[in-house]
Amino acid sequence: MENLNAIKKRIKSVDDISQMTNAMQLVSSAKMRRSLALHDSVYPFFSLCAESMQEIRNNTEKIDNPFFRLEQKKEGDTWKIGYFVLSGDQGLAGAYNNNMVKITQEHVHSKILENTSKNMKTEYKLFVFGKLAREKLMRLGYNVDPEFSFPISEPNYYQAKRVASIIRRKFLAEEFDLIYLIYTRMESASNMVPDAVRLVPVDNKSLESLVPSDAQDCGIALEKGSKMEYLPDPEMVFDYLIDTYINAVVYGAMVDAYASEQTARLTAMDNATKNAEDMMKKLLLISNRARQAKITNELTEIINGAEQAGNL
């Protein structure tokens, strides 16, 4: 039987851990609700932006914009790919950061294999938000930009604009042919999906992701059969909207990633708190047994001492 004092120390230690994990659970819950509320408040504007871009494309014969042109490659050419990976700055979030590392590895390897099968080369660079995934990917030997360091906590639209401007500058300077966002998409509080989305050149799949399903076929025209007039011309409006669209996708990904991290931490801390409570019950049972055994031993010693005194 364990020493009673040692058991009491273990109970206190488990109780302290339980209080800490419970506090972290409450903090993560508050942060998650705040980030989701912020995202929901700006989503209608971003949705209308994407819908307007679709409307212009569907009703304009030609849109000449570099962000919609996918360069054609032939055998022997090199695909230059940039990845912006959104991970967390802190641990204690279950498998969240490891999942981000895993999907990044899988996407990089799949692109290399795909291009190799077509006799093409692949060059890539990772720009990683949050230090945990960045440090692990660097240890694993991946090509991570060491100068890119961007926090993911408490994201706001101004931060997203800064990141989006970096993406636009690198793409227009032809540093990359493709740029992907890798982040965790929060479909619901219980369903978080790591995802890789092509940001530029813009494809229909990524464009439609911001448009509500009930608006896919109807457009934004005021009356059925009528056409929207864009001033000074559709192409200039489109050029303006593409910047807003990239800002929107980056911002949405940052908020989704942050909310997903907080949800993952909330779940992990909830499980840790429950495990601590279960351990407390077991330790209290062991403690009670140890105390009963101690009392039994003391009574036995008293009885034996009294019997020996009576025999004298």
Q: Give the residue carrying structure tokens 């740029």.
A: 179
CB 28 within 8 A of CB 259: no
Predicted local distance difference test score (pLDDT) of residue 212: 52
CATH architecture of 26-267: 3-Layer(aba) Sandwich (3.40)
Burial of 88 (0-12, 13-18, 19+ CB in 10 A): buried
Mean pLDDT in residue range 154-173: 90
Express each pLDDT in 220-259 by its tens digit.
Answer: 444 445 567 777 877 788 788 888 888 888 888 888 888 8
Does residue 164 have a pLDDT over 80? yes
Confidence category of residue 21, pLDDT binned at 50, 70, 90: confident
The pTM for the full model equals 0.80
Confidence category of residue 213, pLDDT binned at 50, 70, 90: low
Whole-Å CA distances, 286 to 294, 299, 300: 12, 20, 21
Q: Give the residue carrying structure tokens 């996708």.
A: 249
Q: Give the residue carrying structure tokens 């909830």.
A: 270
Which residues make beta-bridge pairs with 127? 84
Predicted local distance difference test score (pLDDT) of residue 221: 44
